[in-house]
């Protein structure tokens, strides 16, 4: 936590306090098209403040923050559902930017990366399928067959996050269905969403909320979707390895965002505890049960933050492949801490907590998915145990 990072964090916090947090209460349950005009005005202020795309290298117009440093920014931005979007570091765009920078050709960067970095367009990442296990990306049914200078894609995806309004998708496909190496069977291909073979079916309702725009999860069908072979990211067969490179740092971003949610919910819980009178002269804060919840939440949040910092440091210094255990640990641990803290905060708020007058209920609904996406808790626990037990066998 050097002076430069402290200065960046102070500037980020100032933008949040002045321009973003005031929007939360009024707009957190509004349709995307009603919110985005206000957010775009904030985006211009972020650009003017020199804080745009903090996770991107300086040669591409970003702040060039390390994984660990951006994690600290992400923890601040997570305090608002609009924080990451206003700084143009939201998933899945952030991950798409990173893999386009590392694996994209000059033409791919000019056509897709540069407008994405500028915030002129959005993108989506299309991997999960309804008929195959999302926790095992080596098993997929979407196939891309090469015909001359084109790939013809056919398949069925869902939970393609932010597809509603996106300009292009990066699609995980099986490009070598008869191959012997399951880790070389897949490729990632850029598909413009105005392609006639890209069929937008619906935004999937999640916990009673359909969502729209960036806050959405779409079902997509690819029906004889033809794209030039120049749209492949990296080399054919690199799809799995690219996905793994994307997921390690991405989990740092997610976990620190969850910690930001925890901090905001914790602050709300404490303020509610000291202000809610239950008998004359007595508030919720005087009750030992509430005190226990506050102490437990503070301990869990602090522990989660230190675990993520440790994992981020190892990714920065050793690489994601050397931090597999740490990455899996933070994924399941932080997701559960967030659920615990949100549940306690809702309980302290009582009936107000389950209403949509605060953001607690929305977070509780939408962030339940944290224990599922990017690998279910059970998969990460099993992976962690297997890695540990190797040294004992």
Tens of pLDDT, residue by residue over 13-40, are: 999 999 999 998 888 888 888 999 999 9
Tens of pLDDT, residue by residue over 290-331, are: 999 999 999 999 999 999 999 999 999 998 888 999 999 999
Q: Give the mean pLDDT of 340-368.
A: 95
CB atoms within 10 A of CB 166: 26
Alpha-carbon 50 to chain mean position: 23
**pLDDT score recorded for residue 189:** 98
The tokens of 234 are what? 């990296």
Q: Give the mean pLDDT of 55-69.
A: 96
Q: Which domains, from first to last, does the chain contain?
A: 3-104 (1.10.540.10), 123-233 (2.40.110.10), 240-392 (1.20.140.10)
Asked if pLDDT for residue 135 goes beyond 80, the answer is no
DSSP string computed for 353-365: HHSSSSSHHHHHH
Asked if pLDDT for residue 139 goes beyond 90, the answer is no
> In angstroms, rounded to a whole number, what is the distance separating the alpha carbons of residues 328 and 311?
9
Sign, CA dihedral 344-345-348-351, equals: negative
Q: Give the mean pLDDT of 215-226.
A: 96
pLDDT band at 137, cuts 50/70/90? confident
Asked if pLDDT for residue 248 goes beyond 80, the answer is no
pTM across the whole model? 0.93
> In angstroms, rounded to a whole number, what is the distance separating the alpha carbons of residues 72 and 313?
12
DSSP string computed for 34-80: HHHHHHHHHHHHHHHTT-SSTTS-GGGTS----HHHHHHHHHHHTTS
108 touches 114 (CB < 8 A): no
Share of the chain above pLDDT 90, in %: 85
What DSSP state is assigned to residue 17? I
> In angstroms, rounded to a whole number, what is the distance separating the alpha carbons of residues 63 and 155?
38
Asked if pLDDT for residue 3 goes beyond 80, the answer is yes
Asked if pLDDT for residue 226 goes beyond 80, the answer is yes
> In angstroms, rounded to a whole number, what is the distance separating the alpha carbons of residues 186 and 237?
5
**pLDDT score recorded for residue 179:** 86
Give the residue from 11, 14, 35 showing the smallest Cα distance to 215: 35
Q: Give the mean pLDDT of 177-198.
A: 94
pLDDT band at 377, cuts 50/70/90? very high
DSSP string computed for 293-329: HHHHHHHHHHHHHHHHHHHHHHHHHH-GGGGHHHHHH
Asked if pLDDT for residue 334 goes beyond 80, the answer is yes
């Amino acid at each position: 936590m050097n002076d430069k990072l402290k200065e960046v964090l102070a500037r980020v916090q100032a933008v949040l306090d002045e321009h973003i947090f005031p929007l939360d209460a009024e707009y957190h349950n509004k349709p995307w098209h009603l919110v985005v005009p206000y957010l775009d005005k904030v985006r211009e202020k972020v650009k003017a403040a020199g804080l745009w795309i903090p996770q991107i290298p300086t040669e591409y117009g970003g702040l060039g923050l390390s994984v660990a440093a951006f994690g600290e920014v992400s923890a601040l931005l997570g305090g608002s559902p609009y924080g990451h979007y206003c700084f143009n570091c939201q998933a899945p765009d952030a991950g798409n930017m990173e893999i386009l920078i590392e694996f994209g050709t000059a033409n791919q960067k000019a056509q897709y990366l540069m407008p994405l970095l500028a915030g002129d367009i959005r993108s989506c990442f299309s991997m999960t399928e309804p008929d195959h296990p999302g926790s095992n990306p080596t098993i997929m049914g979407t196939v891309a067959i090469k015909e001359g200078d084109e790939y013809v894609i056919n398949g069925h995806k869902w939970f393609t996050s932010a597809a509603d309004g996106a300009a292009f998708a990066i699609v995980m496909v099986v490009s070598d269905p008869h191959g012997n190496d399951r880790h070389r069977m897949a490729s990632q291909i850029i598909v413009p969403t105005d392609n006639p073979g890209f069929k937008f079916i619906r935004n999937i309702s999640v916990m009673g909320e359909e969502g729209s725009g960036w806050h959405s999860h779409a079902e997509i069908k690819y029906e004889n979707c033809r794209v030039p072979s120049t749209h492949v990211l990296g080399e054919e067969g690199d799809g799995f390895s690219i996905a793994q490179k994307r997921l390690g740092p991405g989990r740092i971003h997610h976990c620190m965002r969850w910690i930001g949610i925890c901090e905001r919910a914790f602050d709300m819980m404490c303020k509610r505890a000291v202000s809610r009178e239950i008998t004359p002269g007595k508030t919720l804060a005087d009750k030992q049960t509430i005190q226990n919840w506050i102490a437990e939440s503070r301990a869990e949040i602090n522990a989660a933050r230190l675990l993520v910092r440790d994992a981020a440091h190892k990714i920065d210094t050793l690489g994601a492949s050397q931090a597999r255990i740490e990455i899996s640990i933070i994924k399941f641990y932080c997701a559960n801490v967030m659920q615990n803290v949100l549940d306690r905060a809702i309980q302290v708020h009582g009936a107000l907590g389950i209403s949509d007058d605060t953001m607690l209920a929305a977070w509780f609904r939408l962030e339940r998915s944290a224990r599922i996406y990017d690998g279910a808790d059970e998969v990460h626990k099993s992976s962690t145990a297997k890695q540990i037990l190797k040294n004992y066998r």
